[in-house]
Amino acid sequence: MNPQSLMSFSWFSGYDIWLEILFAVVTLAIAFYSLKIYRLCGQRESKLFGISFLLVSISYSLWAILNIFALSTFLSAQNYLNFENILKIGYLMGLGIYAHIIFFLAGMVTLAYMTLRIKNAKVYWLLMALTLITALLIEEKYLVLYFISSILLFFISYGYFEDYQIHKNHKLLLSLFAFIFLFLGRFDFVFSSNKYIFYVVGHLFELVAYLLLLISLIGVMRCKPKKVIP
């Protein structure tokens, strides 16, 4: 839920909470299939892919839970909003912001680290620290979240494009399109503070992206372990 104002509790509020729950379930399924592939073939990329989407699933789950509490508080007190209720709503929304930022960006950093094909824990934690510290210290947290995740997703998409150029695998192509849609959805959110329609369209892009990734992984499960490509 976009927390920039109480207008985020308008007509789309209930729908975006349901989408957050749906995203949590779908990304958890992506993580499950990825880790299942890892157990079958021991592929490092599948393990990192699964961990990254498990973090993303946690981010959506916490965000949805806190937004549900915030929305229920708003609806129960909308006729007599006082300072205490406004503070409570702001506190819940603030927790949702921080939870989503930390876990979502952690998932994106893990994905980016996977696509770099680097095996160095120091590089991973350096990327993680720089990303999270930057996002949490800057005041416009949502704008920073959208920009940073867009940059990470751009490089992730480019990494999949390079892999597809080499392997010409149709499942890689599906994953490439998925990450392009995810990039478009995140970048679309940059403009959501001025036009709420961008917030809606961004959610739809993300939904398409996660479904494409899930379809791709289900297809991978039917392949022989040696040919598994996340």
Q: pLDDT tens digits, residue range 190-222?
A: 776 666 777 778 888 999 999 999 998 887 766
pLDDT at position 130 = 94
Residue count of the chain = 230
Total domains in the chain come to 1
- Is there a domain that residue 200 lies in? yes
106 or 77, higher pLDDT: 106
pLDDT at position 226 = 47
Average pLDDT, the chain: 83
- Is there a domain that residue 155 lies in? yes
Helix residue ranges, H only, the chain: 13-41, 44-77, 83-115, 121-137, 141-167, 170-189, 196-220
Q: Per-residue pLDDT tens for 12-62?
A: 456 778 888 999 999 999 999 999 989 888 888 999 999 999 999 999 999
- Is there a domain that residue 150 lies in? yes
Q: Per-residue pLDDT tens for 112-162?
A: 999 988 889 999 999 999 999 999 888 888 788 899 999 999 999 999 999
- Is there a domain that residue 1 lies in? no
CA separation for the pair 6, 132 (Å, rounded): 26
Residue 83, classified by CB atoms within 10 Å of its CB into exposed (0-12), middle (13-18) or buried (19+), is exposed
Domain extent, residue 69, equals 6-227
Q: Which residues lie closer than 8 Å to 71 by C-beta, 6 or more apart? A: 1, 9, 13, 14, 17
The C-alpha angle 107, 129, 34, rounded to 5 degrees, equals 20
pLDDT at position 179 = 95
pLDDT at position 194 = 67
The answer to whether residues 19 and 210 touch, using CB atoms and an 8 Å cutoff, is: no
- Is there a domain that residue 57 lies in? yes
pLDDT at position 117 = 87
- Is there a domain that residue 88 lies in? yes
- Is there a domain that residue 59 lies in? yes
Q: Per-residue pLDDT tens for 83-126?
A: 676 777 777 777 878 888 999 999 999 999 999 888 899 999 99
pLDDT at position 14 = 61
CA separation for the pair 159, 156 (Å, rounded): 5
Side-chain half-sphere of 84: how many Cα atoms within 13 Å? 2
The answer to whether residues 193 and 143 touch, using CB atoms and an 8 Å cutoff, is: yes
Q: Which amino acid is at 19?
A: L
CATH of the domain at 52: 1.20.1070
